Amino acid sequence: MALALSLPLLSAAAPPAQISAERIKAHVRTLSSDAFAGRGPTQIGEAKTLEYLAAQFAAAGLEPGGEKGSWFQDVPLIRYERVGPATVSVRVAGATVPLAIGGQVTAASSIAGRTVLDNAPMVFLGYGMVAPELGWNSFEGADLKGKVAVFLAGDPDFEAPGAGAFGGRSLVYGGRFGAKAAAAAKAGAAAVLVVHETAPASYPWSQVAGNEGAPTFGLRPVAGAAPAPISGWLHRDAAVDLFRRAGLDYEALKVRARDRSFRAVAIGNATLSAALEVRATPVVSRNVVARLRGMGRPDETVIFGAHWDANGIGAADAAGDTIRNGAVDNATGTATLLEIARAFGRGARPQRSILFIGYTAEEKGLLGAEYYAANPLAPLETTAAVFNLDPHVVIGRARSLDLIGGGRTDLEQDLVRVASRHGLRVEDERSPEAGWYFRSDHFAFATRGVPALAFRAGRDLARGGKAAGDAAIEAYNAEHYHQTSDAFDPAWDMAGAAQEGQVAYELGRDLANSRRWPRWNDNVEYKPIREASAALRR
């Protein structure tokens, strides 16, 4: 009896388990092997991946946390597949200029059947920002009905000297492709093209081209406003040429577009014609969900998540390889999730429940996480926090952690405290213009008010310092991110992933043994959403 009574106290004081770099590496090796076929949702690699994750969670001593006592949550999707090649051409100043699909332009549609544009006038909207609170509306006075809306990537501050209305270099949500496309669709645009520049897009054209024609996915039932019939990227060189032919100066217009007085301009008399056909098929993918039931307050939840999917089988690269193994993105995060689950399974049971979620279809637009957040298996109002594992680089032992999208929640102070236990400094991410906070699964929770934290092993490496860390990250983003070459390397040192996992594990463990409800900072748009349900958290 005495022993039973003292267990909770002992458990809180027990030292945390150690996250193993070697075990993470072994999982990464398995998950990114060709046998898993790049873990494409609804492709042949899915079943094997789901089976592996469920088996690992079971071995960690967790219980199924999915639907009907299973390890899974069905995620109903629609797959949009291109039928035959697309064609795109521009007519400008009396000349017809065909645009090479994949070379100068990409075109996608989520409308089933054949979509044809016939000489739709082209309009340049600058950065396409809608921010009434800042007195900014790039759409004001623009008639986009049936027209092609052409945007710059990113937000107006990125290349502006000094801080601007949009918080300086860091990307605001309105600067994302999806936000501009939605605003243009609402205004009746027939097509949306964003000019690709590597820095604000945060990935090279080669990656855009690599995805051209690949199937896209959406959640079922289709909700929200209809998208523009066609959307795509326009290569910068093609944009510069188009503007020149139309008698406009692309670079000069870019500078003008940084000012809130900028208004949409017709791209001379340029019109765009395009044709493509899409087949829409209902399909089902799955999130994997494991649960560790809390001992004291099981109805309160802490979530650890990582997307299990990668880009699967697709077009062959120059060497004929068709599998984008996703070893870093995101076998590494998935492996770390499994190791954290194992650490919890071995240790004393926490007071709050923990959910471990392997999300599907992150690469298709955070679809698995969106579906979970819209159909949660534990109430979001009493989900204390979400920790996301999506590391994007393999590095050795680091002296720092990179915080993604800092300045949003008091979980960041917890991060600093736990990191310092391990001799790690917390630094702001290096490329805030890439908008990483909006680009992984935790965002689906943030928009519904659940405090969410994302961080990665940092750039300051024990061996080689920041120069080595910067070089590793830049090389990964330029050469391997989302490509066939994101494959397992036996020489990898996963010490950085283990550090990241250790900190995430201890953060979650502390929170799961506390009564604290993390908060959003003042002025963060998700704060009022969370506060609306404050009465449910005591």
Which residues contact Zn ion (rule: CB under 5 A)?
329-330, 390
Phi, psi of 352 (to 5 degrees): -90, 160
CB of 124 to Zn ion, least distance (A): 32
- Residue of 279, 179, 283 lying closest to 231 (CA atoms): 179
* 42/311 with CB nearer Zn ion: 311
* Residues 238, 535: Cα–Cα separation, whole Å: 55
Q: How many CA atoms lie within 13 A of 535 on its CB side?
A: 1
Residue-wise over 496-517: b if at least 16 C-beta within 10 A, else e?
bbbbbbbbbbbbbbbbbbbeeb
* 197/329 with CB nearer Zn ion: 329
* 329/460 with CB nearer Zn ion: 329
Rg over CA atoms, the chain: 24
CB of 375 to Zn ion, least distance (A): 22
* 157/390 with CB nearer Zn ion: 390
* 157/329 with CB nearer Zn ion: 329
CB of 307 to Zn ion, least distance (A): 6
- How is residue 337 written in tokens? 């999730």
CB of 329 to Zn ion, least distance (A): 4
CB of 445 to Zn ion, least distance (A): 16
CB of 35 to Zn ion, least distance (A): 21
288: Cβ–Cβ under 8 A, 6 or more apart, which residues? 50, 53, 54, 57, 66, 71, 72, 308, 357, 358
424: Cβ–Cβ under 8 A, 6 or more apart, which residues? 398, 399, 400, 401, 458, 499, 503
- How is residue 465 written in tokens? 């310092």
* 27/245 with CB nearer Zn ion: 27
CB of 37 to Zn ion, least distance (A): 17
- Residue of 374, 333, 383 lying closest to 353 (CA atoms): 383
SS3 at position 292:
strand
- Residue of 409, 418, 425 lying closest to 458 (CA atoms): 425
Q: How many CA atoms lie within 13 A of 136 on its CB side?
A: 21
* 330/400 with CB nearer Zn ion: 330
* 390/460 with CB nearer Zn ion: 390
CB of 309 to Zn ion, least distance (A): 9
* 115/330 with CB nearer Zn ion: 330
413: Cβ–Cβ under 8 A, 6 or more apart, which residues? none
CB of 330 to Zn ion, least distance (A): 4
